[in-house]
Amino acid sequence: MRVLLIARYRDVTMQRKVDYLAQAQDIELCHILPAHYRDDLLDVRQASAQGRYLQLAVPMVGKASDPHRAFYRTLTFHLRRFRPDIIHAEEEPDSLSALQVAWLRRLWAPRARLLLHTWQNLDRPKSAAVQWVMHQTLRAADLIFCANSEAVALLRRYSFNGATPIVPAIGVDTEIFHPCPEEHSVRGEGDRQPSYVIGFVGRLVPEKGIDILLRAVAALQGSDLAHPVRLHLVGEGPLRSELQALAMQLAIADRVEFLGPRTPAQIADLLCSFDLVALPSRTTPVWKEQLGRALLEAMACGVPVIGSDSGAIPEVVGDAGLIVPEGDAAALADAMARLLSSPELRRELSRRGRARVEMHYSQRRLAEQTLAVYRQVLV
């Protein structure tokens, strides 16, 4: 089968799924990505050892960072030359990119199956133009991969009756995020005394609930835990100065470290220095958590996790972590204290977390599920 995959993978860990897809003996794969992403991948144009894997960087017209307002400039040429059996566009159904793919399929590859993808799990207001785009793409799509069960329910509300397998577009690269060499003990970078280290990985933006995390950490200061608590924040964003001010206000500035953005390999190393990872995301009128990739990466490393009940977090974590109500700093503090005071619970959640990632969310597993769908739609 010949598969034209249109996917915006920015780094090597996201690219890994494409590598696994290309290893299948019954696939000839052409991967198209935006040209402005090329510096984030090892190779922009390459063929696999089997000669079935071609990767092409294609320029975009419009606002390249926003798929709702951009399309691929030379996609017609590549589609006509490759002649796919399947066009798998990891584009949202309400985007111009998806509309472009749907129209080109109808013109130049009418027998090809069209597969789209959606992360959207919140019914946001849409303009008449966006509603029209979505109506066109939903009519054209044979199947839409969904990141979570809420996305499936939303597509049904939009009257899409095709198949909607739950297969997130990206998962965890378990070649980078793997169990820590040995059970990590309490520690603190630069500490003179042992500390429990709580980690956060992600954008420093309001919807990630980092202010809630700071308040929860403040509530643990002076508690009866065996060791003091530190918080390490990995990532960058517009909220940094505000969060630093809040840490000062809560009198925990000396217990909070802002580590800035890191590469995936560096994040994996840092995860092994954390006793737990927390993601207290909060729902907004236009967004709620669609996956919680930071939690999955921690779980892959065997680090216990705590998440809020925003969006897909409970579905993703399952019984491999603790869930607290979003926006509830007291509940988050209680959950962190429970984990930090119980080595047995941390070990059990560590085991469950790694197993859950391998079973459902590793890049290899997602590639296997994607291949199974490819074969099914061609029957």
Read off the pLDDT of residues 26-74 as tens digits, 9 standing for 90 and up: 999 999 988 876 443 334 344 333 445 788 888 888 876 676 788 999 9
Gap between the Cα atoms of 172 and 69, Å rounded: 29
pTM, two decimal places: 0.92
State the CB neighbour count (10 A cutoff) for residue 319. 11
Overall CATH class of domain 2-171+362-377? alpha beta
What pLDDT does 203 receive?
96
Q: Contact 5/29 with Cβ under 8 angstroms?
A: yes
Read off the pLDDT of residues 14-28 as tens digits, 9 standing for 90 and up: 788 999 999 999 999
Q: Looking at residues 78-102, what average pLDDT do you find?
A: 96
| Mean pLDDT rounded to a whole number for the chain | 91
Q: Looking at residues 116-142, what average pLDDT do you find?
A: 96
Determine the distance from the C-alpha atom of residue 377 to the mean position of all C-alpha atoms in its chain, rounded to a whole number: 25
pLDDT exceeds cutoff 60 at 111: yes
Instruction: Tell me what percent of the residues of the chain surpass a pLDDT of 70.
Output: 91
Q: Contact 302/210 with Cβ under 8 angstroms?
A: no
What pLDDT does 215 receive?
99
Read off the pLDDT of residues 169-212 as tens digits, 9 standing for 90 and up: 999 999 999 998 875 544 544 445 689 999 999 999 999 999 99
Q: Contact 110/84 with Cβ under 8 angstroms?
A: no
Q: Looking at residues 334-341, what average pLDDT do you find?
A: 98
State the DSSP code for 224: S
Q: Contact 50/26 with Cβ under 8 angstroms?
A: no
State the CB neighbour count (10 A cutoff) for residue 294. 24
Q: Looking at residues 332-352, what average pLDDT do you find?
A: 98
What pLDDT does 70 receive?
87
Gap between the Cα atoms of 101 and 89, Å rounded: 7
In the chain, which residues fall in CATH 3.40.50.2000? 2-171+362-377, 196-360
State the CB neighbour count (10 A cutoff) for residue 220. 22
Q: Minimal CA–CA distance to 275: which of 217, 319, 325?
A: 217
Helix (H, G, I), strand (E, B) or coil at 13: helix
State the CB neighbour count (10 A cutoff) for residue 173. 24
Q: Minimal CA–CA distance to 258: which of 182, 218, 200, 319?
A: 200
Overall CATH class of domain 196-360? alpha beta
- Confidence class for position 164, pLDDT limits 50, 70, 90: very high
CA atoms within 13 A on the CB side of 219: 16
Determine the distance from the C-alpha atom of residue 189 to the mean position of all C-alpha atoms in its chain, rounded to a whole number: 28
Higher pLDDT, 137 or 64: 137
What pLDDT does 10 receive?
67
